[in-house]
Amino acid sequence: MTAALIIVRFAHFVSVMALFGGSVFLAALAPAPLRGALGPRLRAARVAAALVAAASAVLWLMLEGGEMGGGWRDALDPAVISTVLYDTAFGHIWQGRLILALAIVIAASWRPAAPPIVTAVLAGLLLASLGLVGHAAMREGLSGAIERANQALHLLAGGFWLGALAPLSVSLGFLDDGALRGEAATALRRFSGLGHGAVALVLATGVVNTFIILGKPPLDFSSPYQASLALKIACVATMILVALYNRYRLVPRLAAAPEAALRALIRNTFVELALGGAVLGLVSAFATFEPT
């Protein structure tokens, strides 16, 4: 059951972050002509991500019921699920998350499509609300409130960074398009600027999270939690190096050697996506470990 919970958590993180970061990219970073070109291309992906987010939220609730109860039978027992949903702190939060997930499915599927800002707000709330459960919910009082707020900021910053990479990779293809080259370049510059802030926030909130939960750097590799956290930090550090290389080496070369620089940018964007997937896989796993 633990393996199933890890897979479901991973699917939920990926889908919600894709919806949040992708919608922010469309709403705030892509100029209107580029947004108009990207919207139809990304519509199917947005609908699929919304459906996965909603389905994984339901499955996560069911698996939590099994974890709190006696296994797979309880995960499928409506009475157990009802008890978890209405009689536990986790369930009270999950009620709101299920409503948000349904609203996202409606917004993503509606015709004509809802404005990206609507999906961005809904997905942002759904993503931030994950900071109210798990290890971040272990403490009460002011310290617990600070920990949950910090975790929510961590998720939102990481969600913007990772989720915006997919529409960014599509936008890079328009740098070869005479009609949309300027708009694609504008979106790239805007992403680079906001990306700096997102990376800084990911680092700052990550350090705070680590010291709130562990009280020390994750250097005890005999602990599954600390080993997974250390590997996550290594992946994030590699992502930052790739992003810095893109921003300060490849972007300036677009004018002098556009074809080679563009190919390298697209390749490195997919490298960042792969590393981001590894990070989310590790997060999905170590959240099930004892934080020791």
pLDDT, tens digit, 9 for 90 and up, residues 162-183: 999 999 999 998 887 778 888 9
**What does the alpha-carbon distance between residue 146 and residue 288 come to, in Å, rounded to a whole number?**
22
Give a yes or no: residue 255 inside a domain.
yes
Q: Which CA distances in Å does 177 have to 53, 170, 183, 264, 288? A: 33, 12, 10, 17, 46
Domain assignment present for residue 27? The answer is yes
Residue 264 lies in a domain: yes
Residue 129 lies in a domain: yes
Is 15 buried (19+), middle (13-18) or exposed (0-12) by CB count in 10 A? buried
| Measured CA distances, 58 to 12, 18, 202 (Å) | 10, 18, 28
Half-sphere CA count of 197, side-chain side, radius 13 A? 7
In a domain, 292, yes or no: no
189 falls within a domain: yes
CA–CA gap between residue 9 and residue 48 (Å, rounded): 16
- List, for residues 69-80, the tens digit of each pLDDT value: 777 887 888 898
Q: What is the pLDDT of residues 96-144, one digit of tens each?
A: 999 999 999 999 988 887 899 999 999 999 999 999 887 656 667 777 7
Q: What is the pTM of this model?
A: 0.92
pLDDT value of residue 139:
67
Residue 77 falls inside a structural domain: yes
- The mean pLDDT of 31-40, rounded to a whole number, is 91
CATH number at residue 39: 1.20.1630
Q: Pick the residue with more confidence: 143 or 261?
A: 261
Query: Residue 195 has what pLDDT?
Result: 87
The count of domains in the chain is 1
Is pLDDT of 22 > 90?
A: yes
Q: Give residue 143's domain range.
A: 2-286
